[in-house]
Amino acid sequence: MAQEPPGGGEKTEQPTPKRLADATEKGDILQSRELSTALVVMAGVGWLAIGGPLLIEAIRRMLADALRFDGADIAGFAPEQRAAHLLGIIALPLGAVLLVTVIAAIASPALLGSLGFRMKALQPKPERMSPIAGLKRMFGLQGLIELVKSMAKIVLIGSIGLILIWQQMDTIRNMARTGIGPASSELGSIFSMVALALAAALFIVAGIDVPAQILQRSRRLNMTKQEVRQEHKETEGSPELKGAIRRKQYETLNGSVRKAVEEATVILTNPTHFAVALRYNPGRDAAPVVMARGADEIAAAIRTLGSDKGLPVLQYPELTRAIYFTSRAGQEVDERLFVAVAAVLAFVYRIEHRMATEMDRPHIDLPEAMRFDSDGRNVMN
């Protein structure tokens, strides 16, 4: 009987951002050895194709200096100075090769979004030290897949190399009739062409391997519905905890304020530090009335109560601060804000009657005298 995955049910859900982040932190990252190999080989071969003559000339000079000596060299023989001199001749071209290959090796994880140092990836994993687990990896499905990939890579790259060399056989035979210099130059050109073609073939393999690695990692990190629910519960908090927070927020408001918020038409927020509850009943109110207002904890309680009662909660930071600092609970909104508040109320009316969407939210401009910062100072002063 098949075992049920931990957490219950089949892993049918895509990994959440938290699951992906946790896996990355533990070292389970997207990586492709084929892409790394292709980039390193192409970088090295590309540099050799461009800077190969410089390297050959440096090697020639090094060998010439190594085989040339006179009486002074014998009398004052200093092996360390001699070695430093010879190595210095080829240091620059060899260093350039190493530099481009190191950059290419770093580019591979960077392209896959996996570049970074992770301490947890260096921690020993007992399960990977088990010989039985190692044999399972070698002879299991993953091992078989890697074997097939390796064989396909050998066949593809080997075939391309043989075809290219076969096409150059006439040129290779004619090298015997030329001097060493022209033959060496021709041989270098053939080597560069074949090497670049083989490196390009590696990119074909990488183009197949990268999507396969993305699919395998996604399947490996897929989650069951229960795991998604559990993660959401741990991240957002349990319903019991949310209920306790709401009860505490409600306790922050006295009975009259709670009743006033429940009668409101709309809640405007800062969005975090301030909140005001407005009411406008055309048959009852001559102008919009501030039912409740608050900062910090009171503001949070007003927002929560308004959301629970199904009231529109809109973020208008400047307008919220202006109402908060110019009006008191039970008072009409300052007449200088009538136009701005009327635009918001008209938008709420259209939303409630499905005549508008969030995309139609109006932009509000306030008079300069009505623009305040969070400390109640006019920002234009």
| Judgement on whether residues 224 and 204 belong to the same structural domain of the protein | yes
Of 374, 277, 280, which is closest to residue 318 (Cα–Cα)?
374
| Judgement on whether residues 89 and 143 belong to the same structural domain of the protein | yes
Full domain range(s) for residue 285? 239-370
| Judgement on whether residues 98 and 207 belong to the same structural domain of the protein | yes
Task: Locate 270 and state its tokens.
Answer: 């800062």
| Judgement on whether residues 52 and 73 belong to the same structural domain of the protein | yes
325 inside domain: yes
Of 286, 270, 268, 269, which is closest to residue 278 (Cα–Cα)?
268
Which three-class secondary structure state does DSSP give residue 97? Answer: helix
Q: What is the DSSP string of 350-369?
A: HHHTTS--GGGPPP----GG
**Domain end among 179, 204, 228:** 228
333 inside domain: yes
Number of structural domains the chain divides into: 2
CB 369 within 8 A of CB 336: yes
CA–CA dist 168, 163 (Å, integer): 9
CB 164 within 8 A of CB 193: yes
Q: Is the pTM of this model over 0.85?
A: no
CA–CA dist 334, 278 (Å, integer): 12
**Domain end among 176, 196, 228:** 228
Q: Render each residue's pLDDT in the chain as its tens digit; 381 residues.
A: 444 454 456 777 788 777 877 777 777 788 888 888 888 888 888 887 787 778 778 888 888 877 777 766 666 677 788 788 888 888 888 888 888 888 988 888 888 877 776 665 555 655 556 666 666 666 666 677 777 878 888 888 888 888 888 888 887 778 767 777 677 777 777 877 888 888 888 888 888 888 888 888 888 888 887 877 777 766 655 555 555 555 655 555 667 778 888 889 899 998 778 999 999 988 888 899 999 888 888 888 888 888 888 888 999 999 999 999 998 888 899 999 999 999 999 998 888 888 877 778 888 888 888 888 888 888 776
| Judgement on whether residues 56 and 80 belong to the same structural domain of the protein | yes
| Judgement on whether residues 294 and 174 belong to the same structural domain of the protein | no
| Judgement on whether residues 171 and 271 belong to the same structural domain of the protein | no
